[in-house]
Amino acid sequence: MARVYNFNAGPAALPLPVLEKAQAEMLDIAGSGMSVMELSHRSKDFQAIIDAAEAGVRKLLGVSDDYAVLFMQGGASLQFASIPMNLRRPGKSADFVDTGSWASKAIKEAKVTGGVNVVWSGKEESYMRTPKPEELNFSADAEYVHICSNETIGGIRFPEFPKTNVPLIADMSSEIMSRAIDVNQFGMIYAGAQKNIGPSGLALVIIRKDLIERTPENVPIFLRYKTHADEGSLYNTPNTWGIYIVKLITDWMESIGGIAGMQKINEGKAGKLYSVLDSSNFWKAPADKASRSIMNVVWRLPSEELEAKFVSEAKNAGMIGLKGHRSVGGIRASIYNAVPVEAIDALIAFMKDFESKNG
């Protein structure tokens, strides 16, 4: 069966060269006579893999020795709970920016264990934009500021990150390694791997080492960042397969020009698609133009019936994952790092043909 063009929001497309490399090494990794999924996580063979994955992350993102790079389980959702438990000390509160579904989930989880200040919310505007810098008034005594840098469902992102006097923490699950960032602007970055950097079941955490020391003694040992930092992400059996794929993806990204090269490709893909959406009243892209995501492009058609027809016919044409999130409907194309330019070209050709027949 021919491979399809995968526009799923996550688990999402993986680079074909990475899949082919993993296929070739499936039965024997590095001459071990075993699959990576059979290796002991305490072995020298796997230590070489996790070291290479961390080195790849550090090189691509420019992560200094001031930060720990952790490979953790539980996805970004576990981090929603772990962050306030580790970094918000007793009697303190943290500031949150509510830009959509994922920011809202982080807020909900943080409220379970302590104080939360929502300093801005786009809920009344149906989460169509991110805030302007002048709209953000952070608390002087906040333990940290939390944002979701790119909202998968609404298709919006921060074009620039807020300036803060306290640690800035960002959920970058749906845009990690898609554009150049200054890691030093953040106290912590975290991301579920399944959109841009690996398979599901793994979370990447990049945290400033001084913040690791904040954790109160009543936090369970397994949920402490220090536990995993001290053990090199090997406190318990990690997702060995996921870490191996991260290693292969960082190698692949280096081969295409690193994050600068990736950003150029991503902006080109998104630009092509938004150009079509802006060319006709048949399509409606609801996100504010200044906040448009280059990873998740969302739009509507004149009726829900046409949207259902669009999704069905696109699937028959070899393009899957275009149905919008169930909470908002519409159409969504997630065009992550691994989605090739050819997929965008095929989608655009299909869109033009669909409009000519249904417009």
Residues catalogued as catalytic: 102, 171, 195
Cβ-based neighbours of 45, under 8 Å, separated by 6 or more: 29, 30, 32, 39
Compute the distance between CA of residue 146 and CA of residue 55 in angstroms, rounded to an integer: 26
CB distance 198 to 180 below 8 Å: no
Apex CA 174: angle with CA 172 and CA 179, to 5°? 70
Compute the distance between CA of residue 151 and CA of residue 158 in angstroms, rounded to an integer: 9
152 alpha carbon, distance to own chain's centre: 8
Cis preceding-peptide flag for 286 (omega within 30 of 0): no
CA distances to 32, 54, 235 from 42, rounded to whole Å, are: 14, 16, 10
Instruction: Look up residue 85 and give its two tokens.
Output: 């438990």
